[in-house]
Amino acid sequence: MWLTIDKNINTSLIRQVYEQIRAMILEGKLSAGDKLPSTRWLSENLKISRNVILEAYAQLTAEGYIESRRGSGTIVAEDLYFKRCERNLEKSPHNSVYTRVENDLIDFRSGIPALDMFPQKEWGNLFNKVCSHMPYSYFRYCQPGGIMELRQALSEYLFRTRGICCRAEQIMIVSGSTQGLSLISKLLYRPNVEVVVEDPIHYGLLNVISSYGYLINPIPVDSKGIRTNIIETKNDVGFVYVTPSHQFPLGSILPIQRRIKLIRFAEKKNCYIVEDDYDSEFRYEGHPISSFYELDPNRVIYVGSFSKILAPALRLGYMILPDLLIDKYLKLKMYTDVHTESISQLVLAQFINDGKLEKHIWKMKKKYYNKRQALINNLRINFFDEYVIKGHAAGLHLVAEFQNILFTEEILKKITQQKVKVYPVEKYAIHKGRHRNKIILGYGHLSIDEITEGIRRIKKVIQNTII
């Protein structure tokens, strides 16, 4: 039968025999009615225990591949030819983005925290403590809204740090802000309804919204955020999506005058405002920016996440919903994934209640501030007065606008060839052509040495490039 046995691999001998015979049957190399060797003969031929062959045959019999007939021995069953296409084991470039990392690549991608600073030991100790002491009932399905311990901890934390006053029952735990936006988009969808968004906008979140069939009404952003004075539409509006505390990607803060205009627009259109507060914890000048939610809790849906505060791998986010949406949301969440993973919710609740989250944020603010200053210093050294930094000093990225450089595909390709990745603002623009001289430089996950070398390589590429 030309079976090959390898005793040096992790796959058991039983599995090796089973899989090879199974493959021969499915591919037609063994046809219906063909007789298989006796277990004794095959064990002697392969120099392995007869029990191995017996177990493999038993598994094949149980799954219907072979059958034993008195006087005929073991034969291949009927109707089993199933020619399959060979699997393509090579990873596509799209999939490899998340798995293959070049050691010398300097990637200025935005929104990635310093993962080497994650409080791994504290988190692990808390996780073990929570798992060891929580009642067995907590291993059941939890409520769609999330574990109440975390919702209560978040209610107190948000009031303490952001001045947001809400009940724990209004806070809904989700698997990251992306799922939160997806659920809200589904919850508020009606045919022929549009969503007002900022332009530029994070294209991933734009795809989440548009995937539900909404019409998209992009409104340009200036140095003060979304231009509320030019929002016009005759259509019904499902919601307005904004990042008012630190516009992504340009970094502007929406002033109170425009916030009021946006509230009035939402009242006129009888729609909601979705406030994505994705990185307001990291502000390096002045006090934290007040949330939009405070102005009108019945009109604003507040969305937050721990992906940038702690780590994306946790997949923990939350929303504060107006009371009118809570029942409908809970039903939708129930039939989406029942609930967000609950043990990590308990760990995060304890992490917050112990004061460790605020301590971690304070430590990371100092780290990120130093990295931001290193980035600014290196831009000044390499480009002198050829650029302007856009937006306020906050978050994990900045935008550099250059006077004499357009970041064309050709220049971006040359920068990539120098083992550096930068992200043009134009990539995030809905209306193209307005931001071709701006790039996003994320710094949270990079070391100061990487920032220094990355800017040096960018300078090397564009030093002789003039519009």
Return the CATH fold of 13-76: Arc Repressor Mutant, subunit A (1.10.10)
Q: Quote the CA–CA distance of 19 and 219 in Å, as a whole number.
A: 58
Which bin fits 199, alpha (ψ -120 to 50), beta or left (φ > 0)?
A: beta
Contact, 197 vs 241, CB < 8 A? yes
pLDDT at 287: 83
Q: What are phi and psi of 379, to 5 degrees?
A: -65, -40
Return the CATH fold of 120-354: Aspartate Aminotransferase; domain 2 (3.40.640)
CATH number of the domain located at residue range(s) 106-116+359-462 in this protein? 3.90.1150.10
pLDDT at 103: 66
C-beta atoms surrounding 49 within 10 Å: 12
Domain boundaries, the chain: 13-76, 106-116+359-462, 120-354
Burial 52-86 (b: 16+ CB within 10 A, else e): bbebbbebbeeeebbeeeeeeebbbeeebeeeeee
pLDDT at 86: 52
pLDDT at 89: 41
C-beta atoms surrounding 127 within 10 Å: 16
Q: Which residues of the chain have pLDDT under 50?
A: 87-100, 467
Helix (H, G, I), strand (E, B) or coil at 136: helix
pLDDT at 100: 44
CA dihedral 428, 433, 436, 437 (to 10 degrees): -120
pLDDT at 467: 45
